[in-house]
Amino acid sequence: MMKTGKPSLYEIPVPDIVSLGAYADRLQREAEARGETVAPPIRLQIGEPNFRTPEHIRLAAIESISGELQTYGPASGQRWLRELIADKITRINGYTVEPDNVAIAQGGTGAIQSSLLATLDPGDEVLVPNPCWPIYLPQIQIAGAVAVPYALDPNNDWLPDMDQLEKRISPRTKMLLINTPGNPTGAVMTRQIITELLAFAQRHDLYLLSDECYDQLIFEGEHISPASLLTPAEFESGRFVGIYTFSKSYAMTGWRIGYVVAGKPLMKTIVDVLNAGLTNISTPIQRAAAAALTGPQDCLVTMRESYRQHRDLVIQQLKAANRYSYTPHGAFYILINISKRHGTPRNGRQFALDLIRESNVAVTPGQGFGTITDDYVRVSLAATEDELIRGIQAICQLADR
């Protein structure tokens, strides 16, 4: 008999972002094999910056490779980087930590996975937003726990419904996971919502895992970290786990470096998981992250302003096409309702396949993010203006048929 590993993991489907990108590539290869000249697909499905990593960050890694011994390092990351991150947390996220409250991980993804493995036991339940970043679900499954979705309200800027959230609690509930600014919605939770979510977690004695990977990509309003509302003693108790990354703010997705912030007793367990899983992040990548924090910040401002302008451009197009439903206030995504006129349901995955075949535009169907977004597709604003104009036009034209 063929071995496939754990059946529950083997059966996890390939993410739509991957499969649709591969499908677009296949169509292009087939057209070229027929002798046709086809423009590259317009890729609006990928959640990563359309900027190159800034030069001063790249040079810091090169200098490390040239001038430093590349040896093992501490599993929690080099102290000089954790000191810089502690300063950043105070400046940007509004609460005070020490370097020992910080650990470096393999991207925000690695920070989340290590935190889940450090806190969850088999059968525990995790409250996750619906819709959400789809990788949360297999990560929770790999930890042996169960994801329990709580709805975000499309009629209220995709914010949580607290009454509905209360109904999802069970004796097995161990963690509340939140994400602001949100993927795939671009929603930014208000101070009032964060306060209510924190009180909810405290009332039910839950871990609160706060995914703040887009914390510096805010267009309007402010980013509120739940930890900024805690006393130092409450923070150190280990209830809060903060997740951050260099990927989005500094166009460093391929570098794979993020970090987790928590109380010191819990951090000891998280670092044990990191040590068992990856030993340490390489020194050149940590030097690059240090350069990102200490170098010019105009790159971040430039990228954020670009995404904001692209957001405004897309909103203008959607309003003109009578497809507007809400305005994202952060990250670089927008969900577009592609239901037929008069609200007739439509299969978002089939819509995405048709859009690639007919218009050479790739988007991510809403089914991949949750059960309440079947009639939506996600568009990344991290593209050129021309790509967004042509892409949104194609989406609206197909949706109106």
Q: What is the C-alpha to C-alpha distance for residues 337 and 325, in angstroms, rounded to an integer?
A: 7
Q: What is the model's pLDDT at position 10?
A: 85
Q: What is the C-alpha to C-alpha distance for residues 61 and 25, in angstroms, rounded to an integer?
A: 32
Domain 55-294 listed as CATH 3.40.50.740: no
Q: What is the model's pLDDT at position 133?
A: 97
Which of 387, 343, 398, 389 has the alpha carbon at shortest distance from 365? 398
Q: Report whether the peptide linkage leading into residue 184 is cis, meaning its omega lies within 30 degrees of zero.
A: yes
Q: What is the model's pLDDT at position 205?
A: 97
Q: What is the C-alpha to C-alpha distance for residues 273 and 241, in angstroms, rounded to an integer?
A: 15
Q: What is the model's pLDDT at position 341?
A: 75
Find tokens 């950043």 and name the residue. Answer: 88
Q: What is the C-alpha to C-alpha distance for residues 175 and 201, in angstroms, rounded to an integer?
A: 8
Q: What is the C-alpha to C-alpha distance for residues 392 and 389, in angstroms, rounded to an integer?
A: 5
Q: What is the model's pLDDT at position 36?
A: 84
Domain with CATH 3.90.1150.10 in the chain: 13-52+299-399
Domain with CATH 3.40.640.10 in the chain: 55-294
Chain centroid to Cα 204, Å, comes to 26
Q: What is the model's pLDDT at position 35?
A: 86
Tally: H helices and E strands in the chain: 14, 13
- The token duo for 340 is 């037929």
What CATH number does the domain located at 13-52+299-399 have?
3.90.1150.10
Q: What is the C-alpha to C-alpha distance for residues 201 and 341, in angstroms, rounded to an integer?
A: 40
Which of 168, 174, 164, 166 has the alpha carbon at shortest distance from 125? 174
Q: What is the C-alpha to C-alpha distance for residues 182 and 130, in angstroms, rounded to an integer?
A: 11
CB within 8 Å of 165: residues ≥ 6 apart: 127, 150, 200
- The token duo for 400 is 């109106």
- The token duo for 317 is 């197009």
Residue type, 392: I
The DSSP annotation for 131-172 comes to S--TTHHHHHHHTT-EEEEEEEEGGGTTEE-HHHHHTT--TT
Q: What is the model's pLDDT at position 340?
A: 83
Q: What is the C-alpha to C-alpha distance for residues 52 and 47, in angstroms, rounded to an integer?
A: 14
240, β-bridge pairs: 208
Radius of gyration of the chain (CA): 21
Q: What is the model's pLDDT at position 8?
A: 83
DSSP single-letter state for residue 330:
B
pLDDT in tens, 12-63: 887 888 888 888 888 888 888 888 877 888 999 988 999 999 999 999 999 9
Q: What is the model's pLDDT at position 343?
A: 66
Angle (nearest 5°) at CA 378 between 259 and 247: 20
CB within 8 Å of 337: residues ≥ 6 apart: 323, 325, 375, 376
- The token duo for 197 is 């979510």
Q: What is the model's pLDDT at position 202?
A: 97
Q: What is the C-alpha to C-alpha distance for residues 152 and 354, in angstroms, rounded to an integer?
A: 28
Low-confidence ranges of the chain (pLDDT < 70): 342-343
